[in-house]
């Protein structure tokens, strides 16, 4: 989320601040819902594992990044009813259509099997023409918002790694647990977005709703480009194939990014309105209370040039050659350039970076005592080993002990506390909305 344009993000948050304020109460229990997880999809093409978050993304802690839900059409107000493909591998690449509140205010939904679309929805005829299967609704949020089985299943598919160690009844129980967790998460996000839309409309800021959607769409595009690059997909079709291999579809992933970003920004704006920001006093207090989180171990990054006895007529010739190279290194010549020109080992293939960075890991062991005595920028004395001479230089050094209260540590604490504040506000808002907002989970027999 934070990878998007920070100026636009600030403008978005500033606009949202005009319509805020909630109360907190107990969290309503989520009725049980039966998981309907299909067999594991084909193994991912590359890389292995679940869909990665985009670089720089910092959503609400605990949120499964990339857990997709159906795409929202322009002009909707938080509704989510997606069509359910019969086979994830053949899911259409075009965004799924959803039923908006303007299309129905009294959805007729059955409690088993696939439900019919709300009576009077104009989209029904189009779905029938396209031979789209009926939508299976698993939850109703408010009067018109539908949560479908498909969106929850796609979220669970991104957590299949958590099922590898389970078999039989234990696996079925874990599937049910994941399904219910993802169902709750989708419902909570939609409750927050409904609240945001209602507040903006009440404040007379309806035009901002479309601005927010456009902003979120651009951010989602940026995130998807980053993920596609991370996967190494060179074409759109290759990217879609990678997703299909994991039982995922591009439209629902795009929607997840858009909807989660909007929900996160709304929570951010709540914190801003309340003046709940992280100050230097908060940062210092956290640093003093948690010294264990800021202890460091000895670590070093060093460069190495190896002069081999075997490359010279005799040991004396090797020594004279090593002394000449060492003199240049000590005089300040570009060490990496010297590595590429004179190294007789493997260091030239890694721009001279030596093997090992912690105590007991430095190789060869003969050079380790010298490496730990050097400060950053220093070149050590010529080191003789059974096979030749080593010339070493330390470029970075981290000393064991408590890390100093510098700008890097302060930034880390600020980010951590900001996430904690945001999570607490997110949960407070969710608890209040569960209490106020009508949510009905449809249970299969």
The phi, psi pair for 191, rounded to 5°, reads -60, -40
Q: What is the per-residue pLDDT for 390?
A: 96
Strands 383-385 and 388-398: antiparallel
By CB atoms closer than 10 A (0-12, 13-18, 19+), residue 396 is: exposed
CA 414 to CA 284: how far, in whole Å?
A: 10
Q: What is the 3-state secondary structure (H, E, C) of the chain?
A: CCCCCHHHHHHHHHHHCCCCCCCCCCCCCCCCCCCCCCCCCCCCCCCCCCCCCCCCCCCCCCCCCCCCCCCCCCCCCCCCCCCCCCCHHHCCCCCCCCCCCCCCCCCCCCCCCCCCCCCCCCHHHHHHHCCCCCCCEEEEECCCEEEEHHHHHHHHHCCHHHHCCCCHHHHHHHHHHHHHHHHHHHHHHHHHHHHHHHHHHHCCCHHHHHHHHHHHHHHHHHHHHHHHHHHCCCCHHHHHHHHHHCCCCHHHHHHHHHHHHHHHHHHHHHHHHCCCCCCHHHHHHHHHHCHHHHEECCEEEEEEEEEEHHHCCCHHHHHHHHHHHHHHHHCCCCHHHHHHHHCCCCHHHHCCECECCCCCCCECHHHHHHHHHCCCCCECCCEEECCEEEEEEEEEEECCEECCCCHHHHHHHHHHHHHHHHHHHHHHHHHHHHHHCCEEECCCC
Tens place of pLDDT per residue across the chain (445 aa): 443 333 334 334 444 443 443 333 344 444 444 444 444 444 333 333 444 444 443 433 333 333 333 333 333 333 333 333 333 333 333 333 333 333 333 333 333 333 333 333 344 334 434 444 456 888 888 766 778 888 888 889 888 889 888 999 999 999 999 998 999 888 888 888 888 888 888 888 888 888 888 989 999 999 999 989 988 899 999 999 999 988 888 988 898 889 888 888 888 888 777 767 889 999 999 999 999 999 888 899 999 999 999 999 999 999 999 999 999 999 999 999 999 999 998 887 888 999 999 999 999 999 999 999 999 999 999 999 999 999 999 999 988 889 889 999 999 999 999 888 888 888 888 888 888 877 888 866 4
| This prediction's pTM | 0.53
Q: What is the per-residue pLDDT for 224?
A: 92
Q: Which fold has domain 298-399?
A: Chitinase A; domain 3 (3.10.50)
Q: What is the per-residue pLDDT for 409?
A: 93
CA 135 to CA 113: how far, in whole Å?
A: 9
Q: What is the per-residue pLDDT for 423?
A: 85
Q: What is the per-residue pLDDT for 429?
A: 83
Q: What is the per-residue pLDDT for 329?
A: 95
| CA 216-221-227 angle, 5° bins | 125
End-to-end alpha carbon distance in the chain: 39
- The residues spanned by each domain of the chain are 6-278+412-441, 298-399
CA 322 to CA 305: how far, in whole Å?
A: 9
């Amino acid at each position: 989320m934070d990878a998007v344009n920070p100026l636009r993000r600030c403008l978005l948050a500033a606009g949202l601040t005009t319509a805020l304020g909630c109360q907190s109460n107990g969290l309503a229990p989520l009725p049980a819902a039966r998981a309907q997880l299909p067999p594991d999809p084909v193994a991912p093409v590359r890389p292995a594992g679940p869909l990665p978050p985009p670089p720089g993304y910092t959503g609400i802690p605990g949120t499964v990044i990339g857990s997709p839900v159906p795409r929202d059409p322009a002009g909707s107000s938080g509704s989510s009813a997606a069509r359910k493909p019969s086979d994830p591998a053949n899911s259409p690449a075009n965004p799924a259509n959803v039923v908006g509140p303007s299309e129905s205010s009294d959805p007729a939904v059955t409690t088993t099997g696939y439900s019919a679309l709300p009576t009077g929805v104009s989209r029904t005829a189009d779905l029938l023409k396209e031979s789209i299967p009926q939508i299976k609704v698993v939850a109703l949020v408010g009067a018109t918002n539908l949560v479908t089985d498909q969106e929850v299943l796609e979220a669970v598919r991104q957590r299949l790694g958590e099922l590898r160690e389970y078999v039989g009844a234990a696996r079925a129980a874990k599937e049910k647990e994941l399904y219910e967790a993802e169902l709750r998460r989708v419902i909570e996000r939609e409750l927050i977005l409904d609240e945001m839309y209602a507040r903006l409309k009440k404040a007379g800021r309806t035009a901002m709703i479309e601005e927010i959607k456009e902003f979120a769409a651009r951010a989602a595009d940026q995130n998807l480009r980053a993920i596609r690059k991370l996967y190494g997909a060179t074409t759109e079709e290759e990217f879609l194939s990678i997703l299909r291999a994991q039982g995922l579809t591009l439209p629902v992933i795009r929607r997840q990014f858009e909807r989660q970003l909007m929900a996160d920004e709304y929570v951010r704006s709540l914190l801003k309105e309340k003046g709940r920001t992280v100050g230097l006093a908060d940062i210092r207090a956290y640093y003093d209370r948690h010294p264990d989180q800021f202890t460091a171990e000895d670590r070093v990054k060093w460069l190495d040039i190896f002069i081999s006895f075997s490359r010279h007529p005799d040991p004396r010739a090797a020594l004279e050659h090593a002394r000449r190279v060492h003199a240049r290194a000590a005089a300040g010549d570009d060490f990496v350039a010297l590595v590429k020109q004179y190294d007789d080992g493997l260091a030239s293939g890694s721009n001279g970076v030596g093997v090992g960075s912690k105590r007991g890991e430095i190789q060869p062991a003969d050079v380790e005592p010298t490496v730990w005595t050097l400060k950053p920028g220093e070149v050590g004395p010529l080191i003789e080993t059974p096979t030749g001479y080593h010339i070493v230089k330390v470029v970075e050094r981290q000393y064991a002990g408590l890390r100093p209260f510098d700008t890097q540590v302060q930034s880390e604490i600020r980010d951590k506390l900001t996430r904690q504040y945001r999570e607490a506000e997110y949960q407070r808002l969710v608890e209040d909305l569960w209490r106020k907002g009508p949510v009905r989970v449809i249970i299969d027999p």
